Structure formats: C-alpha cells, structure tokens
Amino acid sequence: MSGIIGKKIGMTSIFNDDGKNIPCTVIEAGPCVVTQVKTKDVDGYDAIQLAYDDKKDKHTGKALKGHFAKARVSPKKILREFTRFEAGHQKKYGDVLTVDIFEEGEFIDVVGYSKGKGFQGVVKRHGFKGVNDATHGQHNRLRAPGSIGASSSPSRVFKGMRMGGRMGGNRVKLINLQVIKVIPEKNLLLIKGAVPGPNGSYVIVERWS
C-alpha cells in the first residue's frame, strides 16, 4: 500500500479524448513528509507517519515541535499513519512524497469525512419509504418510520433499531476511483467522480497493489 494526504479543492468536469464529459474532483495532494518510521522491532508493527499542510510555529506545542525537529521539517497540521506501507520501502525521516507516486488511469481509494447533515429522520437517514400516502385517512405521517417493534413481548425496542438521529460526518472510504489526470507542478490530482466531504477538507488518497 502507498498513499498521500491531500485536500479536496472542488469539482469540475473535463472532456476526455473520446469527447465524453467526465465529472472530476480536484484534490491538492501532498507534498507530504515522513515524520516517523515505525518498525516491528521497536513499535511492534510496520508503519510510516506522513505530515501535510504547514502551520505556524507559534501554533505548535513543545512536544510536537520536538517531533517535527526529529524529522527536520517545519510544523504540519495533519499527521496520519499508514500501516503496511510498501513492503520493503526505504523511507527515512524527512523524505518527501509527492503526487507523482500516482499514474493517470490507475485506480485508487479515497478516505474522507462526509458532510454533516445534522439530525435527520429515517427517510433521509436510512432510506425508509415513509407512509407513501397523503390520503386514505393519513395525517402528518408522510415521513414516519412506522412500527418499531411488537408490544408486551418483548416490551422493549431492540438495540440497533434504525431511527432518526445524527447523520453524516462519518469516515467514508470510496474504493476504485480512477485517476484522470496528475499535475505534478501544482500537486494536483483529478479523480473521476465525487469524494466524501466538503471543499477544503482533508482526504487520504491511497493505493493497494
């Protein structure tokens, strides 16, 4: 596995060589630096830690400053660990990963946090149909969940019953998205289709091979 941290910029569409209109998400990916290399002997498992997006020195605590000093890099906003990173990789502290680890046309996975939707009912949150009818004696039950269980036995509602509640804001991974274009001079990736989260949110682009 290999990957990189990025930021969702927005969506647009481009035309491919066949003249097809392709919806794309623009992601500013990297450059990321290696801030820690974990090994089986020392930490019990193999992983590398990548950092992305500069932040000011004065916004960095002393402990983190020491962590970044070890890799000889400026303070970063986002730190993420990648386990099972390219078996036998030769990455060292302070190494830089850029967007050119990806190729046009290959399939990658994108991890992000979906947009928060607030408190939503069962129709939006779980895809219930509602009562489907505004007539036949129905009154203000158009988006109601219906029965949530039997009566005296079991005289309780089962755990996990799908009801209204907070929706969105979850970690979502989309797999097998195609890379349409790589623009190394601006650290940009164009990915076919949508990606979870609002514009400006952090995403992880990874490849399993």
Using CB under 8 A, list all residues that contact other proteins: 9-10, 12-15, 19, 21, 26, 28, 183, 186, 188, 190, 199
Instruction: Please state the closest distance from residue 183 (CB atom) to other proteins, in A.
Output: 8
Q: Which residue, 115 or 141, is less far from other proteins as judged by CB? A: 115
Q: Which residue, 26 or 33, is less far from other proteins as judged by CB? A: 26
Q: Which residue, 16 or 138, is less far from other proteins as judged by CB? A: 16
Please state whether the peptide bond connecting residue 184 to the residue before it is cis, i.e. omega within 30 degrees of 0.
no
Tokens for 59, please give them: 């916004």
Cα separation of 99 and 116, whole Å?
28
Cα separation of 58 and 188, whole Å?
29
Instruction: Please state the closest distance from residue 179 (CB atom) to other proteins, in A.
Output: 14
Instruction: Please state the closest distance from residue 104 (CB atom) to other proteins, in A.
Output: 14
Q: Which residue, 94 or 198, is less far from other proteins as judged by CB? A: 198
For the chain, give the number of residues: 209
Is residue 7 a contact partner of residue 203, using CB atoms and an 8 Å limit?
A: yes
Among the listed residues 182, 194, 174, 179, the one whose alpha carbon sits nearest the alpha carbon of residue 12: 194
Strand order in the sheet with 76-83: 76-83, 47-54, 32-38, 96-97
How would you class 202 by CB atoms within 10 Å of its CB: exposed for 0-12, middle for 13-18, buried for 19 or more? middle
Instruction: Please state the closest distance from residue 81 (CB atom) to other proteins, in A.
Output: 27
Instruction: Please state the closest distance from residue 25 (CB atom) to other proteins, in A.
Output: 10
Instruction: Please state the closest distance from residue 106 (CB atom) to other proteins, in A.
Output: 19
Q: Which residue, 24 or 50, is less far from other proteins as judged by CB? A: 24
Cα separation of 154 and 58, whole Å?
58
Q: Which residue, 19 or 61, is less far from other proteins as judged by CB? A: 19
Collapsing DSSP states into helix, strand and coil, what is residue 112? strand
